[in-house]
């Protein structure tokens, strides 16, 4: 089945919206951790996962902007095919998934800063979240 350019355009727009929100959230966490003054191993891991998440979502935004621009009717390029934005699609998909993974790692690790009980809870929530996200994304054709 051939996916239309209109579908690619809508998918890119939705991915831009989601990635923008999640990158903003991740950047906020990074900024808060940088000014917090804590410098233990766990906080540094949370900072690294938040930074990776923010970077991945930002790359996704720009990859999807390219797809959106290419698939907009009467856009900057004539006679566009799905092959023309294959690289942007692959980069966007991979960085989106990496961003989701690192965001759930950040969520999972956050509770361990308080206690083992809270850490187990946030780890469970992070794993369940990642599994449910992956299940819902199985039908999306990047």
Residue written as tokens 């766990």?
A: 42
Phi first, then psi: give them for residue 86, nearest 5 degrees: -60, -45
Find the radius of gyration of the CA atoms of the chain.
18
CA distance 54 to 100: 10
Domain ranges of the chain: 5-137
Per-block mean pLDDT, blocks of 10 residues, the chain (142 long): 83 95 95 89 95 97 92 73 85 95 95 94 95 82 56
In the 8-state DSSP scheme, what is residue 138? T
CA distance 92 to 95: 5
Residues 6+ apart with CB under 8 A from 33: 43, 46, 47, 50
């Amino acid at each position: 089945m051939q996916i239309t350019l209109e579908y690619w355009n809508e998918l890119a727009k939705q991915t831009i919206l989601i990635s923008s929100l999640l990158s903003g959230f991740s950047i906020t966490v990074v900024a808060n951790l940088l000014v917090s003054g804590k410098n233990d191993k766990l906080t540094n891991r949370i900072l690294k996962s938040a930074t990776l998440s923010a970077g991945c979502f930002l790359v996704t935004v720009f990859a999807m902007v390219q797809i959106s621009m290419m698939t907009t009717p009467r856009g900057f390029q004539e006679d566009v095919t799905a092959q023309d934005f294959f690289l942007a699609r692959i980069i966007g998909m991979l960085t989106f998934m990496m961003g989701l993974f690192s965001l759930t790692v950040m969520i999972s690790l956050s509770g361990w800063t308080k206690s083992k009980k809270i850490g187990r809870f946030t780890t469970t929530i992070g794993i369940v979240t990642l599994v449910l996200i992956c299940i819902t994304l199985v039908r999306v054709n990047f």
